[in-house]
Amino acid sequence: MTKEQFVLDLEKIGAIKFGSFTLKSGLTSPFYFDLRDMISFPFILEGIADLLVERIKDMEFDVLTGIPYTALPIASLVASKMQKPLVYMRKEEKAYGTGNNVIGKFVKGAKCLVIDDLITTGASKIETAEKYEKEGIVIKDFVVVIDRSLNGTEELAKDGYKLHSLITLDEIVQLLKSNNLITDEKVREVEEFTASLNKPKTEKVKYINPLTQKLLDKMKEKKSNLVLSLDVTTQKEFFNMLDKVGDEIVMLKTHVDIIDDYDEEFVPKLQEYAKRQNFLIFEDRKFADIGNTVRHQFRSGVYKISDWAEYVTVHMVAGELILKGLFEGLENRAGFVLARMSSKGNLLNETYTRKCFEAAKKNPQWVAGFIGHGNSVEDIKRFKAKFPGSELLMMPGVKKEKGSDAMGQQYITIEEAVGGGADCIIVGRGILKADDPSKEAKLYRERAWKAYKERV
Ligand code: S5P
């Protein structure tokens, strides 16, 4: 089948339409593509598979996949024709980091070629690639049947992927025109429409939260991006440890509710240390309830956290109004939103992470940064690239060596964390359990700061 025949066939079965269509975005488009029915016409399916085989026969790959639903049957046929192994990803998303989402046989590190029917912006392709990469499959190339994007090639290239297409919107228009299937006026309409579309906005929000700035300033002043997670259960241990390591850290992270002998002297003493040793205070209370409840949890009770902690952690599971519940009416208080967690089997998936970013984008005055983690430098880079603005990436689950504990904590190294994009590393047992915590804190600080300087 020739490309021209293919386009004419698509037109005949109604997969390519020219008229006036309202898109999901609300825009009115003069054309509409829907390739879903194509698979029910054997001669078209056969023809498209042959065209794809021709297009990809010289490319290097170990396995082949198609993005459900439309491209999966197409990819099956192509795989069969080329005698290449087929794999595919479950469409229902399992939780982040649990694995086993790919159906089919492959070896870790296999190079996979991805087939899809259309490309509009490239965003969903990148999401697909990330999911495969988490499963140990390497993706470099995408082949689409129709490229109707404005700058899909450039968008994918930014993340290191290459886009190949069988046919572009322009070619379709020209082929239909030369077959007198659309009028000159329609051609003009299509051209005007595509020209009028703004390029997708990938620009970052300019606003900088004052508490983001405050932490950045403190990092610079103290030449440290080390946050100590002081998870001990008595005041004695707590302040003894601060005596040893307080000078090395930019910020102290507390879990105030694990101190057995907490009393009203604790907070004034902590504040005195913070002043003398020049660090900021972050209480890792991980608020997660409805707005009204978290307001009380933050401002009342035994600990009255809002009186002394400028930064707290926030789960977005109850919805973005939790931010209003926590911070409305308070000065100099902001949250680190848990966009990803370090623990094995956690339920935060990519959709959830994206929702965290959207919530932060709408409430920048209350979000100083995100808590996040990743399994490689590349993974962290891609995660951070999606931050809406200049929020900081705070990363727990960091040690000198990769590893895990018996209760699900997963560690990556200092250099992986910071090299990938962590602005601060959050370290607990790596320092607390060392024979010489003071020496260890110095070492963490030096390595993390060096990696930070190299990155920024
Ligand atoms: O995803 C997360 C988020 C947080 S805030 N994973 C984490 O480990 N944390 C916190 O970081 C956790 O509550 C603990 O206080 C600290 C990590 O401690 P470590 O001893 O494993 O370094």
pLDDT at 95: 55
Residues with a CB atom less than 6 Å from ligand 1 = 229, 231, 255, 284, 313, 341-343, 371, 373, 396-397, 409, 426-430
User: Tokens representing 351?
Assistant: 């959709």
Print pLDDT tens along the chain (456 aa): 899 999 999 999 999 998 888 876 677 889 989 999 999 999 999 999 999 999 999 999 999 999 999 999 999 999 999 999 999 998 776 555 556 889 999 999 999 999 999 988 788 898 889 889 989 999 999 999 999 887 889 889 888 899 999 999 999 999 999 999 999 999 998 888 887 775 555 578 889 999 999 999 999 999 999 999 999 999 999 999 999 999 999 999 999 999 999 999 999 999 999 999 999 999 999 999 999 999 999 999 999 999 999 999 999 999 999 999 999 999 999 999 999 999 999 999 888 999 999 999 999 999 999 999 999 998 999 899 999 999 999 999 999 999 999 999 999 999 999 999 999 999 999 999 999 999 999 999 999 999 999 999
pLDDT at 159: 84
Residue 437, domain member (yes or no):
yes
User: Tokens representing 411?
Assistant: 């560690």
Nearest CA to ligand 1 atom 15: 229
Secondary structure (3-state) at 305 = helix
Residue 202, domain member (yes or no):
no
Q: Report the domain count for the chain.
A: 2
Residue 338, domain member (yes or no):
yes
Looking at 196, 225, 249, the residue that finishes a domain is 196
- Residue 229 shares a structural domain with residue 149: no
Count of CA atoms in the C-beta half-sphere (13 A) of 218: 24
Bridge partners for 377 per DSSP:
none
Out of 255, 286, 317, 342, mutate this one to test ligand 1's pocket (max ligand atoms within 8 Å of CB): namely 342
Of the candidates 3, 94, 214, 286, the residue annotated as catalytic is 286
- Residue 301 shares a structural domain with residue 434: yes
Residue 203, domain member (yes or no):
no
Residue 444, domain member (yes or no):
yes
Q: Which residue has the tokens 């009342």?
A: 300
- Residue 256 shares a structural domain with residue 405: yes
Residue 250, domain member (yes or no):
yes
Under 8 Å between Cβ of 444 and 431: yes
Under 8 Å between Cβ of 23 and 57: no
- Residue 140 shares a structural domain with residue 217: no
CA–CA gap between residue 168 and residue 186 (Å, rounded): 17
Handedness of CA 218, 221, 224, 225 (dihedral sign): positive
How would you class 43 by CB atoms within 10 Å of its CB: exposed for 0-12, middle for 13-18, buried for 19 or more? exposed
Looking at 196, 228, 256, the residue that finishes a domain is 196
Q: Which residue has the tokens 């984008």?
A: 361
What number does the ligand 1 atom closest to the CA of 426 have? 11
Q: How many angstroms does the Cα of residue 229 sit away from the middle of ligand 1?
A: 7
Closest to 418 measured CA to CA, from 441, 387, 445: 445
- Residue 103 shares a structural domain with residue 175: yes
286 catalytically annotated: yes
Range of the domain at 317: 210-455
CA–CA gap between residue 427 and residue 447 (Å, rounded): 13
Residue 40, domain member (yes or no):
yes
Q: Please give the DSSP secondary-structure letter assigned to residue 107.
A: -
pTM as predicted = 0.73
Residue 341, domain member (yes or no):
yes
Neighbours of 456 (CB within 10 A): 8
- Residue 224 shares a structural domain with residue 259: yes
CATH number of the domain that residue 98 is part of: 3.40.50.2020
- Residue 232 shares a structural domain with residue 95: no
Nearest CA to ligand 1 atom 7: 396
- Residue 226 shares a structural domain with residue 275: yes
- Residue 216 shares a structural domain with residue 187: no
CA–CA gap between residue 11 and residue 160 (Å, rounded): 34
- Residue 176 shares a structural domain with residue 216: no
CATH number of the domain that residue 220 is part of: 3.20.20.70
Looking at 196, 229, 256, the residue that finishes a domain is 196
Under 8 Å between Cβ of 349 and 96: yes
pLDDT at 19: 87
